[in-house]
Amino acid sequence: MSREEVSLRGYLSRMAFVSSQSTLSSALSSARSVSAAQDASLKRISTGRKVDEASDNAAYWSIATTMKSSNLSLSSAEDATAMSAAVADTAGLGLEQAGDLLSQIQSRLILAKSVGANRDAINDEITQLKDQLVSVSQSSSFSGENWLALGSNGQPKIKSMVSSVGSDASGNLQVNVTDFDTAQSVLTSQNDASDGILTRSYFGVTKSGSPYEYYLLDTGSNTPASPTASEISVSDSTSNDQIDGMISAVSAMRSSVTTATAAVGATRNTISANSDFLNDLQDINQISIGRMVDADMEEESVNLASEKVRGQLQTIGLNIANSQQKSLTQLFL
């Protein structure tokens, strides 16, 4: 073989090698790309998210993370609202029961005015009803919160209950509250009798012009009712004018209890509306988060199947490139 032929064969061999190497490099690059795409699809399918970390999409990840934090705050506020609702519901139930018992006491007092009424028996019934009122006020408690009864050191207070959470103009977390003044709802007080609807004294003048001053319950308050007031009770020596005064006093108590029930009811409605709003807001936030970060599982499944086919084709292409390189190498040997 002449020198020129050897030189030509060498040149052609080098060109064939360069060409085959370029083909192999391109095939390997495509294979790596397909493998990376498959891994990404598998990750999205396994996690159910297309944005699982900041590197996936920094803007969406940041917004979603902030909204998740807000949802945790909303969930805590909803739990606190549930506690407030339970306290308000308990107080409302106690006030409704107290209103019914006062109506029964008033009906017994009216009965005591009838001719031939057994006032001793009627007074026994009134005493039992008063005992029930004490029991209702003291048992209307939830988790240590009682809006109807005050202990020996207790005073009416404004109760602040979490109603919602949000952000102020500076973006700082802001907790909104609903206030309720228990001075409206206290039935009995062992501290100051004047703080309780049923322990304070009521005075006025009957239709016949007779003055009266009565209270219903004596709970042994540190500061008792007016010393000139008498506890409501009847006996054979009780006059009709006195009974009229008692009826007027009980009527005033019923009116106060009705007002208190309405106030607690309004608070219950506010708490309930806030609770519903917090729940709806969490649902909306969760949907919004899902739209930003959740993967479309059907689409990802199709993408994964497509990438698998691409991977198979790339493998076939790589095998062909390897075969070509071997054939060219053998040709110039």
Q: What share of the chain is helix, strand, coil (3-state, %, to 5)?
A: 65, 15, 25
Residue 107 to residue 251: CA distance in whole angstroms: 11
Contacts of 27 (CB under 8 A, 6+ apart): 314, 317, 318, 321
DSSP letter assigned to residue 192: B
Q: Nearest-5° angle of CA 226, CA 232, CA 238?
A: 115
pLDDT at 143: 86
pLDDT in tens, 111-143: 999 988 999 999 999 999 999 999 999 999 998
Record the tokens describing residue 100, joined without a space.
């019914």
Ranked by mean pLDDT, which of 162-166, 262-266, 293-297 comes out on top? 262-266
Record the tokens describing residue 310, joined without a space.
């691409």
Contacts of 196 (CB under 8 A, 6+ apart): 149, 150, 186, 187, 188, 189, 217, 219, 221
pTM of whole model > 0.75? no
pLDDT band at 31 (very low <50, low <70, confident <90, very high): low
SS3 139: helix
Record the tokens describing residue 252, joined without a space.
């005033």
Record the tokens describing residue 136, joined without a space.
């209702």
Using the Cα atoms of residue 111, residue 112, residue 118 and residue 119 in order, give the sign of their dihedral: positive
pLDDT at 329: 53
Q: In whole angstroms, what separates CA 111 from the centre of its chain?
A: 49
Among 53-62, 176-185, 308-317, the least confident range: 308-317
**138 residue type, one letter:** Q
Average pLDDT, the chain: 80
Largest Cα–Cα distance in the chain?
A: 151
pLDDT at 274: 76
Residue 8 · residue 292 · CB < 8 Å: no
pLDDT at 287: 76
